[in-house]
Structure 1
Amino acid sequence: MATDWQKSSFSGNSNECIEVRAVDGTVEVRESDSPEVIIRTTPAKWAKFLLGARAGEFDAHGDFAG
């Protein structure tokens, strides 16, 4: 069973965001402006990615000034 797509509250009403949902034991990720492209991963891999993001490991890959 799939959960609803969720995006960051920082995205507002724009289509410039990443969306995520849980589906049958996997995690799916897509871009809101290209919803037909979906990346599937495991909950364990997603959790490790989130830990890295929270630690700032990916900050060099974009403009995070807001």
Structure 2
Amino acid sequence: MGEGEDEDVKARKEREKDELYALDISGVEWHSAPGTEEAEERVEIAYLPEGAVAMRSSLDPETVLRYTEAEWQAFVLGARDGEFDLEPTTRNGGLPADGASPAG
């Protein structure tokens, strides 16, 4: 891709983001993983036009991230492929690197 094409792609993506964040999402329906309780900390998503998605934390519902369809697809496919799997550590319930039991 040439320099001019790179700038065109960058400008297009910036326009898409601007349009996405300009959307009024005050009436969207938020979804969370099945089995989570209303008072439980959780990630919530809302489906937006043209395959876009909004995401927020239930603890901070005013801070909303928005993803284009391409960004969301890349994330979901990466998650399915294990790209975001946590390495086992004592912080997420795994064993320490030396194999000893976590201190309680």
Shared fold per TM-score greater than 0.5: yes
Gaps of 5+ in 2: 1-24, 95-104
Report which of the two has the higher share of strand: 1
Structure 1 residues 40-51: aligned runs within 5 Å = 40-51=66-77
What's 1:9 paired with? 34
Q: How does 1:1-66 map to 2 (within 5 A)?
A: 3-10=28-35, 12-13=36-37, 14-25=39-50, 26-60=52-86, 63=92
Deviation track 1:5-55 (CA, whole Å, cap 9, x = no partner) reads 111115x20432111112233310000111000001101110110011111
Rg comparison, structure with higher value: 2
CA RMSD, 1 decimal: 2.6
TM-score by length of 2: 0.51
- Greater than 4 Å deviation, 4+ residue runs: none
Q: Which stretches in structure 1 are left out of the alignment for 5+ residues?
A: none
Question: 2:62, 2:44 → 1: CA distance?
Answer: 12
